[in-house]
Every structure is written in structure tokens, then in C-alpha cells.
Amino acid sequence: CSIRPESWTITEPGAPDSLAGTIEHTTYLGEVLQHVIHLEEGSVKVLELGLAASRREIGQHVGLRVDPDQVSLIPSE
């Protein structure tokens, strides 16, 4: 499947329907922050806007959620 970085929503750890992750790295891109979040299945990039993003810390445990309509399935060859 393919999920764009802006489609993820960061939630509280343990939130319903979320994946558990840890913030590994954050890059400031003007008004947007790009987080690299480590999940059990691997790492993903997440884009976040606004003040909530500025309160995130490296090593912080978070939950990740995505709207199913934002997931693109890619058939295997």
C-alpha cells in the first residue's frame, strides 16, 4: 500500500485504531515539520502543520492513524 506523508495523523499513544510509533527525527520545513516515525513494521515519514508539531520531541512515543480513504493499494506483480 502507499500512504502519503500528509495523510497520517499523529495521536496519543494507544489511541484506538492507531499504530504505535516513536519519533526518530524531525526536520523543520518552514510551516511544516517532517517527522520520521519508527513503527514495528519500519519507518514512515509524517508531515505535520501547526503548533502541535512544535511540541514533539525525539524519542516521544506517539500513535499514528490514517483515514482509509487516503490509502492506495498497489497490486503485486
Q: Classify residue 52: in a domain, yes or no.
A: yes
Q: Classify residue 77: in a domain, yes or no.
A: no
Q: Is the predicted pLDDT of residue 75 greater than 90, yes or no?
A: no
CATH number for the domain that contains residue 54: 2.40.50.140
Query: How much is the pLDDT for 73?
Result: 78
Q: Classify residue 65: in a domain, yes or no.
A: yes
**The pairing of beta strand 19-29 with beta strand 61-66:** antiparallel
- Whether residue 22 contacts residue 10, with contact meaning beta carbons closer than 8 Å, is answered with no
Q: Classify residue 25: in a domain, yes or no.
A: yes
Query: How much is the pLDDT for 54?
Result: 67
Residues 5-64 have pLDDT tens digits of: 888 999 999 999 999 999 999 998 888 999 999 999 899 999 998 766 668 899 999 999
Domain containing residue 54 = 2-72
What residue type is 8 in one-letter code? W
Q: Compute the distance between CA of residue 21 and CA of residue 1 in angstroms, rounded to an integer.
A: 18
Residues 53-71 have pLDDT tens digits of: 668 899 999 999 998 887 7
Q: How many domains does the chain have?
A: 1
Q: Classify residue 61: in a domain, yes or no.
A: yes
**pTM exceeds 0.95 for this model:** no
- Whether residue 42 contacts residue 24, with contact meaning beta carbons closer than 8 Å, is answered with no
